[in-house]
């Protein structure tokens, strides 16, 4: 196999030839919503030069035959890799993890040990005294209830952009209160 992969990638990225990679992933039932989709797409791109070099004819003169060959070869190779990855995940069987769970400190223990509980209480007190309702809702939602921005928006019946405005307002207020004037950016 020649080490120069430039012709293979030039062929792949001309026209709509890259669609065979997406087709191979679709045949494996991998969708863009899945976490591994981008990884397998990158693997398919990395496989393409080897498939290009292994084709018995010239891919430039027989592009249709080559694209069918390449899609099938990439699909099979990715299917093997996907099978290996899933088998490896299956080998990591859950087992009895009761001992591990009892040894892991709880979130409260961790917060108490590093002093974040006091810092959270300070922030709640600071914003509670001087902040507006939105800042208060964002602070309580994130620090106390451990909610995401989307969950805060759903809880209070507001738009996600509104929650982000609350966060920006809260950030500005905290910078104003917590940063000494001589050290401000």
pLDDT confidence band for 101 (50 / 70 / 90): low
pLDDT confidence band for 4 (50 / 70 / 90): confident
Give the pLDDT of residue 81: 92
Of residues 154 and 101, which shows the higher confidence score?
A: 154
Separation in Å, CA 106 to CA 71, 83, 111, 121, 164:
49, 36, 9, 19, 29
Q: What is the mean pLDDT of the chain?
A: 80
Sign of the dihedral defined by the CA atoms of residues 34, 36, 38, 42, in that order: negative
Stretch among 32-41, 62-71, 124-133, 168-177 having the lowest mean pLDDT? 124-133
Please say if the pLDDT value at position 146 is more than 60.
Answer: yes
Which of 82, 63, 80, 81 lies closest to 20 in space, CA to CA?
63
Q: Which residues fall within 8 angstroms of residue 17, CB to CB, at 6 or more apart? A: 11, 63, 67
**What is the rounded average pLDDT of the residues 116-134?**
66
Give the pLDDT of residue 182: 62
Give the pLDDT of residue 136: 77
pLDDT confidence band for 1 (50 / 70 / 90): very low
Collapsing DSSP to helix, strand or coil, 178 comes out as helix
What's the pLDDT tens digit per position in 47-73? 999 999 999 988 889 899 999 999 999
CA separation for the pair 156, 100 (Å, rounded)? 38
CA separation for the pair 125, 57 (Å, rounded)? 74
Contacts 24+ apart (CB under 8 A), 169-177: 169/132, 169/134, 169/135, 170/127, 170/131, 170/135, 170/138, 170/139, 173/127, 173/130, 173/131, 173/135, 174/123, 174/126, 174/127, 177/126, 177/130
Please say if the pLDDT value at position 13 is more than 50.
Answer: yes
Residue percentage of the chain with pLDDT more than 90: 30
Of residues 24 and 180, which shows the higher confidence score?
A: 24
């Amino acid at each position: 196999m020649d080490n120069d992969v430039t012709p293979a990638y030039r062929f792949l990225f001309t026209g709509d030839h890259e669609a065979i990679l997406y087709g191979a992933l679709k045949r494996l039932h991998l969708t863009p919503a899945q976490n591994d989709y981008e990884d397998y797409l990158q693997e398919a791109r990395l496989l393409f030069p080897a498939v290009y070099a292994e084709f018995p004819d010239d891919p430039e003169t027989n592009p249709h035959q080559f694209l069918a060959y390449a899609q099938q070869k990439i699909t099979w190779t990715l299917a093997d890799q996907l099978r290996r990855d899933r088998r490896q995940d299956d080998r990591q069987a859950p087992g009895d993890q009761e001992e591990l769970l009892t040894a892991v400190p709880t979130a409260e223990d961790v917060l108490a040990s590093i002093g974040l509980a006091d810092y959270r209480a300070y922030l709640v007190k600071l914003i509670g005294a001087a902040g507006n309702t939105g800042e208060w809702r964002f602070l309580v939602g994130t620090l106390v209830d451990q909610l995401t921005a989307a969950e805060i928006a759903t809880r209070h019946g507001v738009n996600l952009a509104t929650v982000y405005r609350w966060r920006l307002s809260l950030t500005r207020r905290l910078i104003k209160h917590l940063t000494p004037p001589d050290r401000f950016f």
